[in-house]
Amino acid sequence: MLARVAESMYWIARDVERADTYARLLEVSHAMALERDATIVGGRHTVWEPLVEITGDLDQFLVNHRRADERSVVWFLSLNPANTNSVVSCIRRARRNARGVRDLLPTELWEALNGIYLDLRAWPPGRISTEGVYPFCRMVRRSSHLIQGMADQTMRQDAPWHFLRIGRFLERAEKTARLLEAKFHFARPADPLAIAPVDLYHWQSLLRSAGADEAYLRMELGISSPLEIARFLIVDEYFPRSVNYCLGQVADSLDALVVADVMSVHASALVRARAARGEIMRDADRLVGSVVGSLMDRVQQRCNGIHEALDGSCFALSSHGEGGAQYAQAARQAQN
């Protein structure tokens, strides 16, 4: 399998997943700002500045913005072409990669990806201010789900498809871990075993940010403990956005690539994926508030290690060729 094809598939999936994640975070943060949390404490906006820190883009944001508020952060994360991790930049990059491997993609998938790219290009910046964040985020999320569904339902489950899955689930694991680490850093629950009534909305928002609110409530656990929420988002083996589930999918696809003789049974990426899952399961039964943040930091390092292993053994364009600088910068953002 060509290294160029493997890398293109991987980054198509990562960029579409990242656009979906940022759209969800924008939507939840907008709702928080409207309902109760639009306040400034110590010169910091309690909703919008933490959001830019969660995405790992604060340093880049502060280059052109004095402070984080709704107008500047929404523009920066949605339509700003200068931000390599804005929604529009992610979709543009995914489309460019898809165009390079178009002969391997179903026509419907290419049309869906090209369609959202054209929609975003035609989206006037002022429209978000007049119509609100919700229509924009909903369009992006529905399009990303359509693209992911088409990949799963219309592609042969061969090596290119597995690189798509690896990109999607590695990105998802890293962002869930980052979200949890940031939440336990900012919120610092006084009692990890109980949620104070005044903090209930914050923890509900965490579940919505991870797309987990309805799945969690159906387990009838109740939103009563930060550690129960953390355990669900870290360990649950059936929820498709938990860290454990995502890393399991990455390991399964790497196993399939070994069977297909695309990589060695001793491949570093596979070894690191298995080690990351083992570390999660070892620490799952002894989670406390201080452990969640450090564990999630290690998970992000593990995800970065898996990426680096793939980059060194399977990919071709990370440091040269068309778009090489953007690839490198996107990879650095994933590691910040």
Could you list the pLDDT tens digit for every one of the 336 residues in the chain? 689 999 999 999 999 999 999 999 999 999 888 876 455 444 455 788 889 988 988 889 988 888 888 889 999 999 999 999 999 999 999 999 999 999 999 999 999 999 999 999 998 878 888 888 999 999 999 999 999 999 999 999 999 999 999 999 999 999 999 999 988 876 665 555 556 655 677 888 899 999 999 999 888 766 778 888 899 999 999 999 999 999 999 999 999 999 999 999 889 999 999 999 999 988 777 766 567 888 999 999 999 999 999 999 899 755 433 444 444 454 545 445
Domain range enclosing 312: 3-335
Q: Is the pTM of this model over 0.85?
A: yes
Helix (H, G, I), strand (E, B) or coil at 6: helix
Total count of domains within the chain:
1
Helix (H, G, I), strand (E, B) or coil at 44: strand
Q: How far is CA 243 from CA 143, 251, 295, 303, in A?
A: 23, 12, 11, 10
Helix (H, G, I), strand (E, B) or coil at 41: strand
Per DSSP, the residues of 144-202 read HHHHHHHHHHHS-SSHHHHHHHHHHHHHHHHHHHHHHHHHHHHH--S-TT---GGGHHH
